[in-house]
Chains A and B, each alone.
Chain A
């Protein structure tokens, strides 16, 4: 049995945690797994195909309840836990956060250890996304409009992007509000664009860059480009996101060049 299965099985059998959330092999690629017994842990795997952001389950009370649980996640899961903690959405005392390095299971016991890990293990950026951003940046304004209108007119508003994102945890999303109706709930080119603009704006400074929104989209729409672009812009303008969520704070020295 792998060290991963052993370690997680022990946590369960000793009663340290009530459940382990990790990855198991799915039909074509890894998928989230929920282990309730030490036996279940035999199915756990960990490799670079394990991309789901498991932190999405940490805000679902019906999954985690009030119990202590263990999570074996990838880089982005750890980054997300830090952000969720910043937003007071999780109780770190009820979480045993682990990741796998080579064969070994590493436990990240507190925020500092998590931050340390995130600072030293940043993954290589997705070249395709960066190239797409460059291409779009070079387009003229009306070319950009046509591009996004044509791509987003294919959107069917299944909200897989929202569902896969661990930081989209609102009980009632802005699109589910009728009074007032901020965004038309039916699929149409403009309201689809408004939905993405809104989603990305609500993510600004909070997005950890896991790319699960784009991976979840059944139609392979280029929405990962939007979150990446937004993340890069914010990093360049406001510095790293360690300072807290960008839009809930301010700096009297913020400089803009368009307000006259």
Chain B
């Protein structure tokens, strides 16, 4: 079912202007972002003039086919990679051109990550993995943070697993630990990079429901990179990338709507 009023028309696909909104409501934004790889005469552009704001408390999906630049966009927004042109902010902090150490501390305190696989440090037990961001900061969680972590561990069903090592857990359980770790520091923004890419469909749904609940119940802002329409259908907003540009910016949609839009984009390409 298409709630057409909220969507740009299909004709406006090229250069649909992203909604910047009030910067105070944006937890992260990029402006005129470009990223090229390779030497001068052999350049490949991963991103071309991308401007986007991630709204506070929203679950945003960044979608696109392989090679569309969605991972590059996420890496730059998370301070993992640097842009060739344009600027990026996390909250009020401009992260463009920040030194490596400053970026590292920023990631540690204000960003959470859930990757597709290899999320956990194999030599640490589950509790050690969840507490790692605090330890890297050289501190113990405060009583309030401790209570929050206990609540997360309880609601993610990890209570009995705290002393286990990652390799003793199933893929779905490992992703839940990654989510607990990402939420533990109450970061400004959690980045999830294909968080269900390695999971079966039932476990995928569980993980996505958890991410959705983190947004709805705790007001956690989440940006998820995915190419799976079902995963994207759990998000409040879906941004489409193709060939390094934002081509669509939708509100909540069903998997069918997202699929047919993707297919349409494939045919147009």
Co-complex (A, B): no
Chain A residues with a Cβ under 8 A of chain B: none
- B residues adjacent to A (C-beta < 8 A): none
